[in-house]
Structure 1
Amino acid sequence: MTQMKAIGFHQHLPITEANSLIDLEIERPVAQGHDLLVEIKAVSVNPVDTKVRAHGADETEPKVIGYDAAGIVVEVGDHASLFSVGDEVYYAGAINRPGSNSDFQLVDERIVAKKPQRLAFSEAAALPLTTLTAYEALTDRLQLTFDAKSNLDKTMLIIGAAGGVGSIATQLANKAGLTVIGTASRPETIEWAKTHGAHHTINHHEDFRAQLEQLGYHYVDYIFCLNATDQHFDAMVDVIAPQGKICSIVETDQNLNLSALQQKSATFVWEFMFTRSLFQTADMIRQHEILTQVATWFEEETLETTVTQTLIGLNADNLKEAHRLVESGKTIGKVVVERR
């Protein structure tokens, strides 16, 4: 039985606790079926990592999380046909399987793509989860295309434009031809949002309507909510255009008044990037296709990686620091942990 290093936990604890993330030795898995065994080179931390770590019942076996990853294929399952040993890949993994915070990880090839060659592993690891989330939201949920000419008279409000998903969503919405209005409240986040594709910014701590009207917009055609769905819901109802569409990725334990959207015949839809892998949907391979498509855009330099901070050494101490940074709610772009 071959062992490997991993970082995980037995109890769901605050990141300030010593045992919130611990260094482990666990069994190295073997690729079968549609799986690839990937040697991890870099991972990034997303809000979902911190939420899964902090909430839940005690684990009988050590739980290893981590979703974003970039690495090298070292084994290929007997039903896998898209990749070969030695391929450099990137992916966002599955929420119901052991994660990427380890030396090696099993992942279904249908949610994996070859990483953009011009990007380092650390740059590529920042991208999959946020890119898939933003791309699926725009295309599968809001029914947009990347035919820029068809969207030139359309507007999109992105709430939380400087975070991980926002940093990609602003770029993709811009690429789709939309007029992009991002929310940001600090000089550095305003600059980041505009650098990454927002044509305008407004402050999410202030009245949406007044700020939009100052920019010359009474309504917006699309809203992509990446922060505090319940807090912003009434404002979204107010500024969404008749027959407009709202997509959110942020869960809420509040009851949302969907009837408020009825007179406008407006759409409210959720985006959860793990849906396809969690339910093994018939179109699961679409995530392979999306990541392959956006890899060409990164190669062409029409999209840019969103990594802003890289910690060297895939260990419990560095992952704790990455979790702490993400939980602060003040991060711009993405935090990456690179394996030595």
Structure 2
Amino acid sequence: MLSWKSGMTPRIQAKTFAGGSLRSAFLQASPALALGLHAWTRAARLRGLRRFASAEGTSGGMKAVTVSKYGDATQVMEITDVEKPTPAAGQVLVKNVAIATNPIDYKAAAGVLAPGAEAPDKRLIVGWDSAGVVEKAGEGVTDFQAGDNVWFAGDITKDGCFAEYTAIDARLISKKPESMSFEDAAALPLTFQTAWEGLVEQMNVQKGKTIFVLNGAGGLGSIVIQLVFRSLETSATFFEC
């Protein structure tokens, strides 16, 4: 058993809270993620991050990573020219600056979300974690405007963020903290949401309790340990040498 020490400086700049539940601690540390975003998957594990690097799309279009048939992600994912989306009522159009990759991305490409199907009904744009800049707000959107820096985990039933632009429900995005880079912001949504679901919605962890994190590695494990340590001040992880 190895105690998690404060010398292991976390990358998120959260506070140490004197009391209360993990829910209250999380709301103060990251109210946007706690209140504004939906968790569409519990599959987040190791994290990978890269900028979406491609030439500009064709006139009136954009570049995107798409899947036309299910299979090995390394074989079926391809960069193609697609139509640039237009935000519908209640949506915003985001120019993606940085994206994160998750296991759900290659699983979606493999057809895990559509058992028995050989191909999606229409070409699928994968990817759900992103940070970018609002280009246009759709009708009825009042909380965001062009130029806002935002981050989000998208809707798994809609086109994803492995593209130059994403049209997304305004309820699923939040303004990016000024203290965070686009890359850091894109790496957090699914792991934070998964940690929130497990610790708060499922376990209702309270201060004064002891929690053990088994195999606390990768994106999810590291976030769980940081949140628990900063709110409960009692966290440990088992490991094998």
Q: Do the structures match in fold with TM over 0.5?
A: yes
For 2:89, the aligned partner's letter is G
Query: Is the 1:162–1:184 contact (alpha carbons within 8 Å) kept by the matching residues of 2?
Result: no
In the other structure, the counterpart of 2:29 is: none
CA RMSD of aligned residues (A): 1.7
1:53 aligned onto 2:53: no
Counterpart in 2 of 1:166?
221
Equivalent residue for 2:96? 40
SS in 2 for 1:171: helix
How far apart are the structure 1 equivalents of 2:240 and 2:153? 29
Question: CA 1:45 to 1:6, structure 2 compared with 1: closer, same or farther past 3 Å?
Answer: same
Query: 1:179-203: CA deviations, max 9, x gaps?
Result: 22224446xxxxxxxxxxxxxxxxx
Within the candidate set 84, 103, 114, 2:145 is matched to 84
- Which structure's relative contact order is higher, taking Cα pairs within 8 Å and 6+ residues apart? 2
Structure 2 residue identity aligned to 1:181: A
CA separation of 1:160 and 1:50: change in aligned 2, threshold 3 A: farther
2: CA distance, partners of 1:183 / 1:11: 41
Q: Do the aligned partners of residues 82 and 185 (structure 1) sit closer, same or farther apart at CA in structure 2, a change above 3 Å counting?
A: farther
Normalised TM-score (structure 2): 0.69
Q: TM-score, normalised by structure 1?
A: 0.50
- The whole-number CA distance in structure 1 between the counterparts of 2:69 and 2:110 is 8
1:132 aligns with 2:193: yes
SS of equivalent to 2:159? coil
CA offset digits 1:73-104 (Å, max 9, x no partner) = 01111121211110100011111010000000
**Cα distance in 1 between the residues matched to 2:74 and 2:161:** 22
Q: CA deviation at 1:162?
A: 1.2
- Residue equivalent to 1:15: 73
Q: CA deviation at 1:157?
A: 2.1
Give the aligned length. Answer: 178
CA contact (8 A) 1:135 1:172 kept: no
List gaps (5 residues or longer) in structure 2: 1-58
- Taking the aligned partners of 1:37 and 1:141, their CA distance within structure 2 comes to 33
SS of alignment partner, residue 232 of structure 2: coil
Give the Cα separation in 1 of the matches to 2:122 and 2:67: 9
Structure with more helix by fraction = 1
Shift in alpha-carbon separation, 1:157–1:13, aligned structure 2, 3 A: same
**Greater Rg over alpha carbons, structure:** 1
Q: Helix, strand or coil for the counterpart of 2:212? A: strand
Q: 1:184-223 residue pairs with structure 2 within 5 A?
A: 184-185=239-240
- Of the three residues 58, 63, 87, the one matched with 1:5 is 63
